[in-house]
Amino acid sequence: MDNLLIKSAKVAFPGTPYHDREVDVLLEKGIIAKIAARIKVDGDKVATFDAKGQCLAPGFFDMNVNFGEPGLETKEDILSGCTAAVAGGFTGVAVQPNTYPAVHSHSEVALIVSRAKTLPVDVFPIGTISKKREGGELAELYDMKLAGAIAFSDGNKPVQQAGLMSRALLYSKGFGGLIVSYAEDASVAAGAKMNEGVTSTYLGMRGNPNLAETLMVARDLYLAEYNDATIHFTTISTAESVDLIRKAKAKGIKVTCDVAAHHLVMTDELVAGFDSNYKVSPPLRTPNDRKALLKGLKDGTIDAVVSQHTPHEIEFKNVEYQIAAEGIIALQTVLPFVLEAGLTTDQLIEKLAIGPRRIFGLPVPEFREQAVANFVLFDTELKWRFDQQTNRSKSSNSPLMGSVLKGKVTMVINKHQIVNIQ
C-alpha cells in the first residue's frame, strides 16, 4: 500500500510536540505527509488503519541478535531473521559475528550489508575483535568499519587476553569504533551449564558464579579507563556488574551496557525442570540479580534492552540439558518481556529504541511531517499466542512457545515499506 492513514494513535516519541497526544498520521509512499488531530481522506485512494488504544513509537533497535548467515543458514538467515525482527517491532538490528566463517573481514561485513539492502530492517554487522574469534590476533577492525561494521565483539566468545582487549580499545578509539565486551572469565565459569547457587547445588550441576562475569567487567573497565576509550558491555546479568558499571559511570569512564530481556523476568529456579530452552548464556541468575538489573534499568545504569536472539535447530535443543546449545529465539517476545518486567511505555522506548541508537551513534527516527517514517505501532494490552503459526523465525527454541503473551506489535513502517503484523 502506497498511502495509509493511521487513525487515533497515541504518540510515544519523547522530545517531540506530539508526545503523549492522540493523532492521525497520513503516510504517502513511506513519508509522513501529515500529522493532525483528525485527518479526512478519500477512502478509495487511501487505506485506513484504526490504531485506537495503540502506541506509535520509534522503531525498536536490537543491539544483540544472531542470524546464521553466512554459513549457518539452517538456524536463521538474514531474511527470516529480519522477518522475526519486524514481527517484534524492530526496524534496526546489530548482528553478532557468531557465524561460520566469523564476520572477521571486509568480505563478511559486505555480504551482510548487501543481503539486507531491500529488507524493511536496517541491518548492521558487528565485526570480530580477533581473527576467526580465536582470541589471538587483532582482526582488521578499520577495514570492517569501512565496509559497514557498526562495532566489534567476539560474540559469545569472551576475549580472555587482557592485552588483546587493551589493543582493541586503543586502536578502535583512533577511528571512533566501539568495542563490545561479552564479560565472562572462562577459567572461572569452567564450562558450567547454569548459575551457581542454591538451585545448582540442589540439582547437582556445576554452576557458573557471578564472579566469572564480575571479574571480566572489572578488568575491562580498568582497560577502558587506562586507554581513555569507550566500551559497551552486552547482556550483563549480575548485581555486582550493575554496581561496578554504576560506579564507573559516576567516575566518568566511558561505559554503556545492555541486558537481555529474559534476564528481567526469568531466574535460575526455572532450570529445575531441565528444559533446555532455559539454557542461556550468561545463565539465568537469582531473584536478587533480577531485582538489581531492574533497578539498574530504572536509574539509568543500564542503557538498553536486547533480545539476544539465538536460534538453533531442534537437534541442538531437544537433547539432555547438559549437552544442549545455549540460547533462545527472542525477537518477537521482547515487548511482552519488558512489559511483564514492569517498564512503562516511556521506559521501554528509551531502552528499546533511543538508548541503543545513542550508543551506536545512530540518528533516532524523527516524527514530523516530510520525514521518512520509521516507527512501530504496538498494543500493550493485546494478548496473543506465540506458537508455530505466529513464530517467524526458522527455529523454535523458546520456553514461551505455546504461551499466551501480553503486548503485541501490530505494524512496522521503515525504508518506505509498511508491514502489517498478523
CATH (domain of 51): 2.30.40.10
Residue 177: pLDDT band with limits 50, 70, 90: very high
- Are residues 356 and 373 located together in one domain of the fold? no
Which cell numbers in the block locate residue 34? 501529515
Same domain, 40 and 62: no
Same domain, 389 and 337: no
- What per-residue confidence (pLDDT) applies to 1? 61
Q: How many domains does the chain have?
A: 2
Q: Model confidence over 251-308: pLDDT tens digits?
A: 999 999 999 999 999 999 999 999 999 999 999 999 999 999 999 999 999 999 999 9
Read off the C-alpha cell for 179. Answer: 568495542
| Boundaries of domain holding 27 | 3-56+368-420
Question: Does one domain contain both 27 and 124?
Answer: no
- What would the pLDDT profile of 57-84 be if each residue is shown by its tens digit? 999 999 999 999 999 999 999 999 999 9
Of 340, 360, 380, the residue at which a domain comes to its end is 360
pLDDT tens figures, 322-338: 999 999 999 999 999 99
One domain for residues 314 and 397: no
The pLDDT score that the predictor gives to residue 30 is 94
Closest CA to 28 of 6, 7, 57: 6
Q: Which of 35-44, 60-69, 124-133, 153-162 has the lowest mean pLDDT?
A: 35-44
Tens-place pLDDT, residues 199-231:
999 999 999 999 999 999 999 999 999 999 999
Please report the pLDDT score of residue 139 as a whole number. 98
Co-location of 353 and 328 in the same domain: yes
Q: Please check whether residues 119 and 87 belong to one and the same domain.
A: yes
pLDDT tens-digit readout, 345-358: 999 999 999 999 99
| Residues 78 and 103 both lie in one domain | yes
Specify whether 119 is located in the same domain as 235: yes
pTM: 0.97
Residue 2: the pLDDT is 78
The average pLDDT across 15-33 equals 96
Are residues 45 and 74 located together in one domain of the fold?
no
How far CA 352 is from CA of 91, 171, 344, 358, in Å, comes to 11, 29, 12, 11
Q: End of a domain among 360, 376, 411?
A: 360
Please check whether residues 110 and 10 belong to one and the same domain: no
Q: What is the CATH number of the domain that holds 202?
A: 3.20.20.140
pLDDT of residue 42: 78
**47-50 and 3-11 as β-strands: parallel, antiparallel, unpaired?**
parallel
164-175: pLDDT as tens digits: 999 999 999 999
Last residue of a domain, one of 360, 384, 409: 360
Q: Are residues 80 and 122 in the same domain?
A: yes
